[in-house]
Amino acid sequence: MIPVKGYAAQSPTTDLALWDFERREVGPHDVQFDIQFCGVCHSDLHQIKNDWFPGIFPMVPGHEIVGRVVKVGSAVTKFKVGDLAGTGCMVDSCRVCENCKQDLEQYCLNGSSQTYNGFEQDHKTPTYGGYSNSIVVNEDFTLHISEKLDLAATAPLLCAGITTYSPLRHWKVGKGHKLAVLGLGGLGHMAVKFGVAFGADVTVLSTSPSKEADAKKLGAHHFVVTSDPEQIKAAKGTFDFILDTVSAEHDFNMYLSLLRTNGTMICVGVPSKPAEVAAFSLLGGRKSLAGSGIGGIAETQEMLDFCAEHNIVSDIEMIDIKDISTAYERMLKGDVRYRFVIDIATL
Ligand SMILES: [Zn+2]
Ligand SMILES: [Zn+2]
């Protein structure tokens, strides 16, 4: 076994703290890479607090992981020692179900292996995430990372990036579409960058007027303050798509009213409590309410390559791992522009 140092929550009520654990030896199809940076996702906090479902403890969060390969298995063909490598929200899947066969491993019918707070495909070995100094991943679930981009700012692409890229691609959002991005956080700021890169007319919907200047700097064409009834009234029936990145509770019916006829609102944020949706909000104007979860491995690589080509990375604030609890507190208040990334050298 490989000894690894990490930061773990021992229970939903304890703060993260140093924890020594072990990873499996590098198997024939495995890649081991030493982690340099790991993004801090809102879902890390949801999971260590048991907000969505009872977690597996000790829990080492982190699924926006980048670093450099230090060892490859004998059968590995896609990576060599010294390459940059990354891993997002999944480390394996069944490979044989109809979704896996269509490159939709994130919807694996037998359950994909989440990078942490999950199990390997033996359904009994717990997985541990990227708040740690090294990781062993099957090469099929390891991503190539470009040397051209700032490495730390690339880390959040592996969750926040693909979570917003995939639905925009699936619904073919682009030229001629009015896209509203609801919420300007880790996900939202990536959605703005992708929406603009794909040629859509992009509006940011936010409760904070203070974010207008930033939204425009990120490339957004318009900004609507959602707490201002006049601005909401003017925005009614105007959007082809709303990408809803908010993971706090909010009024779906109000946002559905901003869609044009045949418009689609796509949820990628995950509030802790279910939302109430009135049938009238959908049937008046034949509207759709949809959801999307991360992206498959092939699409994640496509997204990373697109970002390298178009020079797209996340806007980040680097932190020492000892400051993770403060970072969570600030994240809850929306006080981060726009993603915390842990410098794993501080572990
Ligand atoms: Zn995430
Ligand atoms: Zn599968």
Whether the link from the prior residue into 61 is cis, omega within 30° of 0, is no
What is the model's pLDDT at position 188? 97
| Interval between CA 173 and ligand 2 midpoint (Å) | 27
pLDDT tens digits, 5-48: 999 999 999 999 999 999 999 999 999 999 999 999 999 999 99
Nearest ligand (C-alpha, residue 98)? 2
Ligand 2 center from residue 107 Cα (angstroms): 7
Q: What's the pLDDT score for residue 272? A: 80
Q: How far does residue 281's CA lie from ligand 2's centre (Å)?
A: 35
158 CA distance to ligand 1 middle (Å) = 8
Closest ligand by atom to 41 CA: 1
How many A from CA of 334 to the centre of ligand 2?
Answer: 35
Ligand 2 centroid, distance to 192 Cα (angstroms): 31
Ligand 1 centroid – CA 95 distance (Å): 22
- Residue 270's pLDDT band (cuts 50, 70, 90): confident
The mean per-residue pLDDT over the stretch 45-67 comes to: 95
Ligand nearest to the CA of 112: 2
CA of 90 to the centre of ligand 2 (A): 12
pLDDT at residue 247, rounded to an integer: 86
- Residue 277 is predicted with a pLDDT of 96
Q: Which numbered ligand comes closest to the C-alpha of 106?
A: 2
Tell me the ligand closest to 160's alpha carbon: 1
Average pLDDT for 52-78: 97
Give residue 51's pLDDT band: very low, low, confident or very high (50, 70, 90).
confident
Res 129 pLDDT > 90: yes
Average pLDDT of 232-251? 96
Distance 230 CA to ligand 1 centre (A): 34
Whether 248 has a pLDDT exceeding 90, the answer reads no
Q: What pLDDT, on a 0 to 100 scale, did the predictor assign at position 304? A: 98
Read off φ and ψ for residue 19, nearest 5 degrees.
Answer: -150, 125
Sorting pLDDT into bands at 50, 70 and 90, what band is 113? Answer: very high
pLDDT value, residue 271: 85
